[in-house]
Chain A
Amino acid sequence: MPPLDVIVDALLHVVLPAAIVAFALSAGGRFVQFAPALGLAAAYGLVAWHRDLWTLMPGESSWNRLHYAVLAALVIEQLVQALPGRLALIRCFLRIAVSVGISFLVIPSATRAEVWWLMPLLAALVFAVWSTLTYLAARPPDGSVPLALALAAFVAAGVLVHAGSARLTEAATALSAALGGIAVACILLKIDGSSAVPGAAVLLPGLLLIGQQETFSDLTWHAFALPAVAPLAMVFLLPFPKLQGFPLMCWRLSLVLVPLVIAMALAMQTGPLEFE
């Protein structure tokens, strides 16, 4: 466990501001559909500015485009939602195009050349999480999807701290807190939090990929991959339409927790954290 002063500092300067801002803005979801997206962008952006997280890598690295990619995904989703329902194919195409574009622009060219399959993998993951969880978040709007994403981001923070990057850990913590705030708003006010999903679909795997590629630790790639794919576990409940209400929420979160617990266990195998 990190020392108490580090935990208190993170609570006061990362978790609380992100959660409060995200909750306050998401509560407007009763009036405008994009309120949760605004809540995520404002909450994460505020903490990123306050904690100097806007630049994830020193120097001019294309990884630093990740935050712009998050904003792009949130805005594109609003355009996608504005399209008539009969244009489902165009919706799908737009999401695919943006996922591929983001992956191409964010992963450095040297990394793409070295590991050719990384770009299509990230694009596929972003698209899968984006499309699937946007669909699930509204069926029903019970807050389980933002809560599952918040848990995944929290475990991602745990993996990244074991990987040895405090900056990426804080970024994942801020994402987790913002999604937590959105989840609380969704649960209390029965809001559809789907507009925030594209932001998390880009930022969560993006931070984990930066951690996997740019840090030096004994962590296996599974520890980075599991929190990124964990929210997709909720699709296994699609064949059970009769499952509704609180039991559905419990099942969804239970399924997501399985890969998250494995990821955390893998991360903790690297030994105790040092804060000297």
Chain B
Amino acid sequence: MRWILPLALAAFVTPATMFADEFPLTGKNTTITFVGTKPGGKHDGGFKAITGAAVVEGKDLTSLKISLEIDMESLWSDNPKLTNHLKSPDFFGIKSNPKTKFVSTKVEKAGADYKITGDMTMCGETKSLSFPATITVAGGALNITSQFAIDRTKWGMTYGQGKVDNQVKLKVSVKATK
């Protein structure tokens, strides 16, 4: 009798995990870049140190689960002085907020593409975030591409409103193998 419960649990759990493919996410296979704009100008930037994992069960891409962490020290931009400014308390304040995290909570079909929803913790504040994405799994490789914009003030990055646009364009590209 005492074997029944573990066996029953195994019967339910094993199929799901057996067909789950885990794709490690690193700064080499994942790029996250941003474009910050202001009246009459723009700057490019991104993050180099990214760690995390994406898990897909079988061929069902709505089962995709993403967990991502960015080391904010790795922030870069097209101007070294701007990079320092972005790291300062005016924007990310990275000494107090050294990591940015994203954990997906739902992936759903949206036309030909998908909509990824998750919780993003940035500058010490966790907010829900949804964005469109193109997701494919083929030949043992996971590909995700997405372009969207976020309102930086939602994460408490309120400095410079009027001088720097609140909306920041993000571009995400994942080309990960198992």
Contact = CB atoms under 8 A, between A and B. Distances in A.
Interface stretch (B78-86, B104-112, B132-140): B78-86
A61 B93 contact: yes
B124 A58 contact: yes
B161 interface: yes
B84 A55 contact: no
Contacts of B144: none
Q: Among B90, B123, B156, which residue has the most Cβ atoms of chain A within 10 A? A: B90
B41 interface: yes
Interface residues of A, number: 24
A58 B87 contact: no
Interface in A28-80: 52, 55-61, 63
Interface string A213-244: 11111000000000000000000000000000
B95 A214 contact: yes
A215 B89 contact: yes
A57 B158 contact: no
B61 interface: no
B88 A215 contact: yes
B84 A61 contact: no
A166 B79 contact: no
Interface string B108-123: 0000000000000001
A275 B87 CA distance: 16
A7 to B, nearest CB: 14
B161 A165 contact: no
Contact of A274 (B79, B90, B96, B97): B79
Given A58-B93, A63-B96, A276-B82, A167 B159 contact: yes
Contacts of B81: 164, 274
A215 B83 CA distance: 11
Contacts, number: 79
Contacts of A59: 93, 96-97, 123-125, 156
A58 B161 contact: no
Nearest to B156: A58
Nearest to B84: A216
A191 interface: no
Contacts of A214: 88-89, 93, 95-96
B15 interface: no
A60 B156 CA distance: 9
A210 B125 CA distance: 20
A168 interface: yes
Contacts of B83: 216
Given A52-B159, A58-B157, A215-B84, A165 B90 contact: yes
A267 to B, nearest CB: 14
Contacts of A166: 85, 90, 159-160
Interface of B: 41, 79, 81-85, 87-93, 95-97, 123-125, 155-161
24 contacts: A55-B156, A57-B96, A58-B91, A58-B97, A58-B125, A58-B158, A59-B93, A59-B156, A60-B124, A60-B125, A61-B96, A63-B96, A108-B96, A164-B84, A164-B85, A165-B85, A166-B90, A167-B90, A214-B88, A214-B89, A215-B84, A215-B87, A215-B89, A276-B82
8 closest cross-chain pairs (CB), A and B: A59-B124, A58-B123, A216-B84, A59-B123, A61-B96, A58-B156, A165-B88, A164-B84
Given A55-B156, A58-B158, A165-B90, 11 more contacts: A57-B93, A58-B156, A58-B157, A59-B96, A60-B124, A60-B125, A61-B124, A63-B89, A165-B89, A214-B88, A214-B93
